[in-house]
Amino acid sequence: MSATPARERLVRAAFALFDERGFEQTTVDEIAERAGVGRTTFFRHYRSKEDVIFPDHDGLLSAVKARLDASTEQTALLAVTEAARLVLQRYIEEGENARLRYALTSRVAALRDREIASVARYQRLFREFIGDWMGVTPDGALVAELMAAAVVAAHNHVLRRWLRGDTTDPMAEVDTAMARVTTIFGQRNSSGNGAGTVVMVVRDDRDPDRVAAAVRRALRPPRRLSDPVNDR
Amino acid sequence: MSATPARERLVRAAFALFDERGFEQTTVDEIAERAGVGRTTFFRHYRSKEDVIFPDHDGLLSAVKARLDASTEQTALLAVTEAARLVLQRYIEEGENARLRYALTSRVAALRDREIASVARYQRLFREFIGDWMGVTPDGALVAELMAAAVVAAHNHVLRRWLRGDTTDPMAEVDTAMARVTTIFGQRNSSGNGAGTVVMVVRDDRDPDRVAAAVRRALRPPRRLSDPVNDR
DNA sequence: GTACGAACGGTACTGGGTACCAACCTGCCG
DNA sequence: CGGCAGGTTGGTACCCAGTACCGTTCGTAC
């Protein structure tokens, strides 16, 4: 009678109804009815009315974690980038559903909040991984937090561009975006500068002597804590 | 009869009951009853059962936006830092309530998700501000996204440290953390492709000349064998 | 056939959230 | 004083998401 399994029919019915009448205007009974199942069956497959249109984040999170855990100290940055690719790839494979969901999350606050909460779970994963990689120094904990936030922000930036149809090659874009992140955060010079001083260099083609002079000026008291050096 | 206004009594009752029995185990009726008002009055003051324990994000967002808008091109980074201070300050003023909420959001998924959704609203504000400040180049949009994510991550990092009792001077810490962020992201406004030197200094009491020398050494091109030395 | 287990559908219940209405309290004017 | 307008309150009824429970069905193994 029904070749396609109930799970899939429920997803189809939900997407269709949300698209036709909106999220709040659709009841779970209606979704179940259109899918040709009982209301109970709906909740047996999806924990909530929102769940039915979201991807399998649990599975994806496991995949991301697996990719990260399979890396060494030296390939940590590569692993982070590839983990981000993994997530983007999954969304792209969804195709039309991903775009429909985007249209819904843009309009419905409850769905947007849920999407954001999911993102936070990925960010947590990245934070823990990067934190372990960087070591447990107080500063490392902060930078791990910043970098994890940047990683998911970069991914989401590219993802949204693709969802809006602003790019045709999202995988290439996520590579450049992630390269941006890793060059910003990945080049930290942790070698013996001494406790208390951190110098971060991000590729410069100007005269090292002039930069050094600027640093000396910046370090001269009385200075406020942590003044940025602007040598232009 | 009741000197304290209903709004406040509801907050007190909610915090107390959530603390005693947990969030899910407490009904709105019970909160209203303990506050000495009707159920209708509860929903008249707070849109949901969750709302009652969260700070006035709408007001805070306006304050943050006002602080950002009151800045010039030159003081944009300062404005971002002070906006972050503004938020942290507000949480600290809450005192015990902030810590109680933290205990609740740590245990209850629904509350945690809501907190995260609120954070996203601040991030959006920062993203728009930083994006305007950087200009609308494709790369600027990405970096604005990354920096906004880092700003709220830095703030939250310090906030959580304070909530856990890991620090006694969160305002100083947020300054350091924000300095970290602004030095990472703040130097690339006029150099389009991301080239530039970022030097971040976190309090050092050694000889500035020696530090400067170390920086100069660090900036020397790493290739030493066949490549001609590019010393200017 | 029978026994068993997995998936299903139905009913009843809890509780958050909304809509509506009736009872109040003000202050204000005649 | 009486009436009247606007604002706050409390109560009732309702919708619907989500949970618990139970009886049925169907496929499969024995």
pLDDT tens per residue across span B172-214: 999 999 999 998 886 554 333 334 454 545 455 666 666 666 6
Distance, CA of A41 to C1' of C10, in Å: 11
| B227 φ/ψ angles, rounded to the nearest 5 degrees | -70, 140
Are B80 and B67 contacting, i.e. CB atoms less than 8 angstroms apart?
Answer: no
Higher pLDDT, A28 or B225: A28
Which chain C positions have some atom within 7 A of a protein CB?
Answer: 7-11, 15-20
- Residue A210 has what pLDDT? 60
- Tokens describing residue B20: 């005693």
Residues 102 to 161 of A: which have CB under 8 A from any B CB? 112-114, 116-117, 120, 139, 141-143, 145-146, 148-150, 152-154, 156-157
Residue A159 in contact with residue A88, Cβ under 8 Å? Answer: yes
- To the nearest whole angstrom, how far is the Cα of A18 from the nearest Cα of chain B? 22
In whole angstroms, give the CA distance from residue B123 to residue B156: 11
pLDDT band of B139, cuts 50, 70, 90: confident
Nucleotide with the nearest C1' to A7 CA: C7
**DSSP-assigned letter for residue A88:** H
Q: Are A113 and B114 in contact (CB under 8 A)?
A: yes
pLDDT, position A191:
35
Q: Select from A184, A197, A202 the Cβ nearest to the Cβ of B197.
A: A202
Between B131 and A211, name the one with better pLDDT: B131
Judge whether residue B105 has pLDDT over 50.
Answer: yes
pLDDT tens column, B9-63: 999 999 999 999 999 999 999 999 999 999 999 999 999 999 999 999 999 999 9
CB pairs under 8 A between A and B: 182
Report residues of chain A scoring pLDDT below 50: 1, 189-198, 200-203, 220-232
Q: Are B31 and B14 in contact (CB under 8 A)?
A: yes
Supply the pLDDT for residue B4.
77
Which nucleotide is nearest to B43 if distance is taken from CA to C1'?
A: C17
- Nearest DNA or RNA nucleotide to A38 (CA to C1'): C9
Mean of all residue pLDDT scores within chain B: 85
What's the pLDDT at B189?
43
Integer distance in angstroms from CA B140 to C1' D17? Answer: 43
Specify the pLDDT at position B61. Answer: 96
| C-beta neighbour count of A78 within 10 angstroms | 14
Q: Would you call B212 and A208 a contact, using CB atoms and an 8 Å cutoff?
A: no
Which one-letter DSSP state was computed for residue A3? -
CA distance A180 to A139: 21
Q: Which amino acid is at A210?
A: R
DSSP B169: -
**What is the rounded CA–CA span in Å between residue A61 and residue A193?**
37
The confidence score (pLDDT) of residue A185 equals 86
